[in-house]
Amino acid sequence: KKRIVSGVQPTGTIHLGNYLGAIKNWISLQTTYDTLFFIVDLHAITLPYDTQQLSKATRDTAAIYLACGVDTSKASVFVQSHVRAHVELMWLLSSATPIGWLNRMIQFKEKSRKAGDENVGVALLTYPVLMASDILLYQSDFVPVGEDQKQHLELTRELAERVNYLYGRRKWKKLGGRGGPIFKVPEPLIPPAGARVMSLTDGLSKMSKSAPSDQSRINLLDPKDVIANKIKRCKTDSFSGMEFDNPDRPECSNLLSIYQVISGKMKEEVALECQDMNWGMFKALLTDALIDHLHPIQVRYEDIMSDPAYLDKVLAEGATKATDIADATLNNVYQAMGFLRR
Ligand code: TYM
Strand partners, 146: none
Ligand 1 shell residues, CB under 6 Å: 5-9, 17-18, 20-22, 40, 43, 131, 134-135, 143, 145-146, 148-149, 152, 195-197, 206-207
Length of the chain: 342
Judge whether 318 and 69 are in contact, CB under 8 Å: no
What atom of ligand 1 comes closest to residue 40's alpha carbon? Answer: 30
Q: What is the arithmetic mean of pLDDT over 214-238?
A: 98
In angstroms, the CA 84 to CA 284 distance is 48
Q: Probe ligand 1: pick from 14, 39, 40, 137, max atoms within 8 Å of CB?
A: 40
**Euclidean distance between CA atoms 193 and 201, whole angstroms:** 20
The question of whether 206 is a catalytic residue gets the answer yes
Mean pLDDT, residues 178-192 taken together: 88
Contacts of 248 (CB under 8 A, 6+ apart): 237, 239
Catalytic residue among 209, 235, 265, 267: 209
From 61, 124, 148, the mutation candidate for ligand 1 (largest count of ligand atoms within 8 A of CB) is 148
Instruction: Tell me what pLDDT residue 176 has.
Output: 58
Among 103, 114, 90, which residue's Cα sits nearest to residue 40?
A: 90
What is the per-residue pLDDT for 170?
58
Q: State pLDDT tens for residues 245-271.
A: 999 999 999 999 999 999 999 999 999
pLDDT band at 173 (very low <50, low <70, confident <90, very high): low
For residue 342, is pLDDT > 90?
no
209 is catalytic: yes
User: What is the Cα–Cα distance from 236 to 282, expressed in whole angstroms?
Assistant: 11
Residue 174: the pLDDT is 61
| Tens-place pLDDT, residues 163-172 | 999 998 655 5
CA of 65 to the centre of ligand 1 (A): 13
What is the reported pLDDT for 180?
65
Judge whether residue 12 has pLDDT over 90. Answer: no
Q: For residue 197, give the ligand 1 atom closest to its CA.
A: 13
- The DSSP H or E segment spanning 127 is helix 122-136
Residue 278: left if φ>0, alpha if ψ -120 to 50, beta else—which one? Answer: beta
Of the candidates 74, 206, 265, 267, the residue annotated as catalytic is: 206
Question: Of 57-61, 118-122, 229-233, 249-253, which gets the smallest average pLDDT?
Answer: 118-122
So what's the ipTM on this one?
A: 0.99
Distance CA 36, CA 24 (A): 14
Q: What is the predicted pLDDT for the residue at 1?
A: 95
Phi, psi of 180 (to 5 degrees): -110, -165
SS3 42: coil
Q: Are 141 and 3 in contact (CB under 8 A)?
A: yes
Q: Grade residue 117 by pLDDT with cuts at 50, 70 and 90.
A: confident
Has residue 209 got a pLDDT over 80? yes
pLDDT of 179 over the 90 cut: no
pLDDT confidence of residue 118: 83
232 catalytic per annotation: no
Q: What is the mean pLDDT of the chain?
A: 95
Task: Based on DSSP, count helices (H) and strands (E) in the chain, helices before strands.
Answer: 13, 5
pLDDT (tens digit, 9 = 90+) per residue, 41-100? Answer: 999 999 999 999 999 999 999 999 999 999 999 999 999 999 999 999 999 999 999 999
Mean pLDDT of 277-304: 98
Percent with pLDDT over 90 in the chain: 92
pLDDT at 177 over 70: no
- Please give the pLDDT value at position 160: 97
The model carries a pTM of 0.96
Question: Nearest to residue 105, comparing CAs of 48, 44, 42, 153?
Answer: 153
Closest CA relative to residue 46, chosen from 115, 145, 134, 94? 115
The one catalytic residue among 1, 56, 109, 111: 111
Position 171 scores a pLDDT of: 53
CA of residue 105 to ligand 1 center, whole Å:
15
SS3 142: strand
